[in-house]
Amino acid sequence: MPGVQMCAPEETKLGPTDGKPVANEPSDRHLRRRKAVQVDLPPPGVTRWVIRRKAQVVEAVLAGVLTVEEVCERYSVSPEEFHSWQRSFESHGVYGLRTTRSQIYRNSGQNDND
């Protein structure tokens, strides 16, 4: 056709598996999630535990970004303390992590058995 320039098609680069995902490599979505959670973690050595920070650490363990042992070492938290956060988070959500509410939630569970 006169006046129309034709371009050569762009080369496509396929990986060693011809574009198929490799079984041992984590997916991009998994890597993005892991990176996002790591960015949201409180800095090591935190001593003031507001509910947002507790929730970030509990969610990181649930997502597999950190282990309980890593949490205990990184934040100087006992396993018992972390597990109490996890139980409160699973039972009552983020607001269950408030220290002022823990007594209320604890007592509400006891009254159910009366």
Tokens of 37: 């959670």
Give me the residue spans of the domains in the chain.
Answer: 29-111
Q: Which CATH number fits domain 29-111: 1.20.120.10, 1.10.10.10, 3.40.1360.10, 3.40.640.10?
A: 1.10.10.10
Burial of 99 (0-12, 13-18, 19+ CB in 10 A): exposed
Confidence tier at 12 by pLDDT (50, 70, 90) = very low
Mean pLDDT across the stretch 62-67? 93
Predicted confidence (pLDDT) per residue in 65-100, tens digit: 999 999 999 999 999 999 999 999 999 999 899 876
pTM recorded for the entire structure: 0.58
Predicted confidence (pLDDT) per residue in 20-55, tens digit: 555 555 555 555 455 545 568 999 988 899 999 999
